[in-house]
Each structure stands twice: as structure tokens, then as C-alpha cells.
Amino acid sequence: MKEKTFPIVTLCGSSTQKEDWERYQKQLTMKGYCVLTINIYLGREVKNHNKETPLKQLLKQIHRQKIRMADIIAFIPKPNGELGRHTLEELTYAKLHTKPIIHVETLLQTTNPSIYNRKMSNVKE
């Protein structure tokens, strides 16, 4: 029996919104997505989180790898609807790698997640 392949979504957004990230991770997983996300919430855990440090550079490189691995990029805007500078940089990077970019709420309303997964076109369940 062939194993099912699930679309991979990488979340992008402000690391200050830990509760939003956790809620969206759960909701997307329950809809059948394999979710790649941040693992350290610098915006909440580190003073001066906007300062470039070796740790921040490492996390940035890891997140960029997650973007490259993804089939879909879903962004989480700030509560005021805006996207921060770092989020915009991530979305620009995703665009350079021809990744579909979608608002996380729109993705949650999608009834057929496989339409975003280019790798799944030849997979039979």
C-alpha cells in the first residue's frame, strides 16, 4: 500500500505571535497539511530580537530551508493586518523560489489542499 503524501506548508510571520502560530499549526495539521514552522519565538523569548546575532542568522537560514522544502507558504499577518520587515523578506525569498504564497486563513478555507502541492500531481492514493 502506497503511503499518502500530504502538502507541506511553511508558516511565515512575526515570532511575537506565539499563540497564533500554535493555533494555525494545529488547525492546518487537522486539515491534512504537514506544517513546518518556527521552533523558537525570538520575539517573545529574546531581548532585542531584531538585532542580528549568530543565533538569529542560524534561525533565518533554517527557516529559509523550510521555505525551500515547502509546497505552500502561508503567512500570518500581525493583528493590525500588516506584515513586518522580516516576514516580507521571507515572502520575497519564497517568491524567488516560485512558492505559492497564501494568507493562512485563506488556506484554512481551502477544501482541496492538494491543489497547492505540485509534487502530488503524480501520486495515486
pLDDT digits (tens, 9 = 90+) for 4-60: 889 999 999 988 888 999 999 999 999 999 999 988 887 655 555 567 788 889 999
Q: How far is C-alpha 84 from the chain's CA centre? A: 15
The pTM assigned to this predicted structure is 0.82
Structural domain range at position 56? 19-119
**Is 123 a residue whose pLDDT tops 60?**
no
In a domain, 34, yes or no: yes
83 belongs to a structural domain: yes
Q: Cβ(99)–Cβ(75) under 8 Å?
A: no
Task: Note whether residue 9 is domain-resident.
Answer: no
Determine the residue type at 121: S
Q: What's residue 110's pLDDT?
A: 81
Q: Which pLDDT score, from 0 to 100, does residue 36 have?
A: 97
Upper half-sphere CA count for residue 43 (Cβ side, 13 Å):
13
Q: Would residue 4 count as lying in a domain?
A: no
